[in-house]
Amino acid sequence: MHVIDCEPKFWCLLTENEQLILNVSCEHSFVGYDFTLLLSEEETRRFKESGRSYLNELAEAINYSAPIARASTSEYKSRNSQSKYEEAILDAIELWEEKNLPG
């Protein structure tokens, strides 16, 4: 797994075996959490057409929908893949930060 692009402290787009994976840093009330989903074919198409601007919109939509809240009706709620990819994502982001961020 490796990072394709990252908006630090907001989202990172990663890939593994040609699958695009979006990891979003979300906030709900006073709780901060990461939410990870595999991009669908439609989301992948839109990313290829619009790039980072689409990822910003998608990450904002995920955050705003509060998919971890019990009462949430977020369309993303059932797509949470955080537990499956958590370790690999942390490793990939750490490596990306070492190469791309100052200090």
**DSSP β-bridge partners for residue 21:** 14, 38
Query: Could you tell me the pLDDT band of residue 4, with boundaries at 50, 70 and 90?
Result: very high
Q: pLDDT tens digits, residue range 6-57?
A: 998 999 999 999 999 999 999 988 889 999 999 999 999 999 999 999 999 9
* The two structure tokens encoding residue 24: 């979003």
Q: Which of these, 90, 85, 93, lies nearest to 36 by C-alpha position? A: 85
* Residue 103 pLDDT > 70: no
Could you list the residue range(s) of the whole structural domain that residue 52 is in? 2-100
Number of folded domains that form the chain: 1
Q: Please give the average per-residue pLDDT across 88-99, as a whole number.
A: 94
Looking at residue 30, what is its pLDDT?
84
SS (H, E, C) the chain: CEEEEEECCCEEEEEECCEEEEEEEEEECCEEEEEEEECCHHHHHHHHHHCHHHHHHHHHHHHHHCCCCCCCCCCCHHHCCHHHHHHHHHHHHHHHHHHHCCC
Report pTM: 0.93
Which are the contacts of 59, defined by CB distance < 8 A and separation ≥ 6?
A: 7, 10, 11, 22, 24
Q: Are 55 and 99 in contact (CB under 8 A)?
A: no
